[in-house]
Structure 1
């Protein structure tokens, strides 16, 4: 019996750790990831201003996992009909059950010039590139445009504004968003607080502004032209190449078919109440625990169930999170229930969230390092 977990982001690592605990001893568990590290994605933006954070937000997989076989390779293709996974290195892995946790990639929507002239923010190298370009092209003035005002765009715009202020630069930070508000998929009171925090940090926020084309120096929008020195693009997500660029729809049992699960940002998930689930770390973590429980129950049934028994009914995932949190430079906005927090209380919550996740995957020393970085930047 072989169980594959593809990807070791929030969903993948959490699911694999749960399976290590739940699967019977004779089941083979294999984790495939394109890096030997788990990356704490929601802290990547901080590397733009504080490169030393990089060490605290990378967790070696061989320390986080105790039982699973770890294969460091890129997944090229998932053939769920054949129950086979092709890797970039040439190996093909067959499976009895598979959890696709490959996350999502940056979407460019076929906008002319956008991909070739912008920097995304998905990996540490992207954050390092943004920092280098700031000091090469923008620390003495100019304009940085951040496209997309979801949480990633808000965070990188805030970080760049803080870096500008630290360097006493005369750089304009412009955040553009085609919807009529920042953080458009979140509650209205959270949106208002995030916008206020951005404005307080000196970010020029322009909503209802859609990008139409990009050249080396100019962003053309439906409201006019915007000259820039650096363009950071966080304006949407699309599926991983191994899934043909698709984020397949899955329902609350998180299954693409009877033996293949898709978890986290890799899928468009509808929960047990029929509600679409936003792509977020908090959702991915909770989805992973449900998927692990369902996979373990199926493996147990295959190993021990009588042929006359009905297979286990999968547990549905229901989207429930206590709130939302986003950093904006040295500021933070948090929502817990109906209440909005800014300032030191919100920042303490943000520190707790990051350190709590690291602790949950066994990276206690990195959790301590992250807290120290947060409190003594």
Structure 2
């Protein structure tokens, strides 16, 4: 029996490690990823200010996978009905598969935006953003489009970099809706905006981008000249799913013997609530799918065959995050239950969560390095 885990982001790596622990050696586990390493995406913004952190947030998959076979290839298409993944170096058939390919930056067909903006999805993006920022003329404006958590974090990091380097830059964060962090509770939104403004980020909400030229963003109300444009204004599905993020129920089943989880899907949980695209959700979804795949694998190995009528029902996913965290330069905002707080306690909590995740995927040295760096920074 072969289990294919397509992608090794938060969802894929967590799922693969869970399956390694739960399934017998007779079950083959294949992990397909377009790189031989795993990127801790929620720390990527920090590389803009601290390039040396790149190694610390990159985890060699060979070091953290126990017995799974790693295949370094790009997934180009998934046929969930045939249980076949097409790769750029061939094909991979599977008995049970999990699509964990994450999401790509969405530019929403806004004229000029993709051409002139830099997204923040990979390490080369962070290096480019840093280089362009440092090479701007004094007084130049940097516009960050999209005030979700990624936009909040990169705007805060750029403002902090300007202060550290003693250079004159204006950092403007744009959001088309009427609040920053628009998908989160109101008290969290308010605290995030206060933290941004306290750290010299200019926040403009209800500002819809219509197009971009090489030196200005055209909004629905006015025009905003800029020297640099960074775009974090939404996500789309992976190319292997034709850019779509399929809607899946609380079983996270795409169809047949294929699951889809993490940012690659739009998930409705067991309570009927839409699950936000986040690392916290991806990790929890992976644990739920690991339960389902484990039950299927043992059922089939015990002679149950492939008859779906008699297979165990997939685990129903219920998203219950204890809270939310976001860094803003050298500060942070945290929500635990109904309580929102800022300052050293929020920063310490964010550091502990990041280190906890790295430890959970076996990257102990990376976790220790993250904590050391934070302590050194303070």
TM-score, normalised to structure 1, is: 0.98
Distance in 2 separating the partners of 1:349 and 1:169? 30
Q: Deviation digits for residues 276-306 of structure 1, max 9, x if unmatched?
A: 0000000100000000110111111111144
Gaps of 5+ in 2: none
2:304–2:311 Cα contact (<8 Å) kept: no
Where in structure 2 are the equivalents of 1:26-37 lying within 5 Å?
Answer: 26-37=26-37
Deviation at 1:141?
Answer: 2.5
Gaps of 5+ in 1: none
Is 1:115 matched with 2:114? yes
Distance in 1 separating the partners of 2:201 and 2:347? 19
2:7 is aligned to 7
1:365 is aligned to 365
2:140 is aligned to 142
1:30–1:68 Cα contact (<8 Å) kept: yes
Q: Is the partner of 1:204 in helix, strand or coil?
A: strand
Distance in 1 separating the partners of 2:247 and 2:145? 26
Q: Is the partner of 1:52 in helix, strand or coil?
A: helix
TM-score, normalised to structure 2, is: 0.98
1:256 is aligned to 254
Where in structure 2 are the equivalents of 1:1-377 lying within 5 Å?
Answer: 1-89=1-89, 91-138=90-137, 140-306=138-304, 310-377=310-377
1:209–1:223 Cα contact (<8 Å) kept: yes
Q: Deviation digits for residues 102-159 of structure 1, max 9, x if unmatched?
A: 0000000100000010000011111111001111225x32000000000000000000
2:263–2:277 Cα contact (<8 Å) kept: yes
Deviation at 1:257?
Answer: 1.0
Deviation at 1:310?
Answer: 2.4
Distance in 1 separating the partners of 2:304 and 2:324? 45
Distance in 1 separating the partners of 2:332 and 2:303? 51
Q: Deviation digits for residues 287-333 of structure 1, max 9, x if unmatched?
A: 00000110111111111144698211211000101000000000100
**Alpha carbons of 1:117 and 1:36: their partners in 2 closer, same or farther (altered >3 Å)?**
same
Q: Is the partner of 2:365 in helix, strand or coil?
A: helix
1:77–1:86 Cα contact (<8 Å) kept: yes
Distance in 2 separating the partners of 1:376 and 1:41? 22
Distance in 2 separating the partners of 1:34 and 1:25? 25
1:24–1:300 Cα contact (<8 Å) kept: no
1:40–1:58 Cα contact (<8 Å) kept: yes
Distance in 2 separating the partners of 1:341 and 1:124? 30
Distance in 1 separating the partners of 2:161 and 2:139? 12
Deviation at 1:273?
Answer: 0.6
Deviation at 1:32?
Answer: 0.5
Deviation at 1:167?
Answer: 1.3
Comparing 100-109 with 75-84, which one deviates more in the overlay? 75-84
2:80–2:256 Cα contact (<8 Å) kept: no
Distance in 2 separating the partners of 1:339 and 1:305? 51
Distance in 1 separating the partners of 2:322 and 2:69? 34
Q: Deviation digits for residues 187-245 of structure 1, max 9, x if unmatched?
A: 00000000000000010100000000001001000120000010000000000000110
Name the count of aligned residue pairs.
375
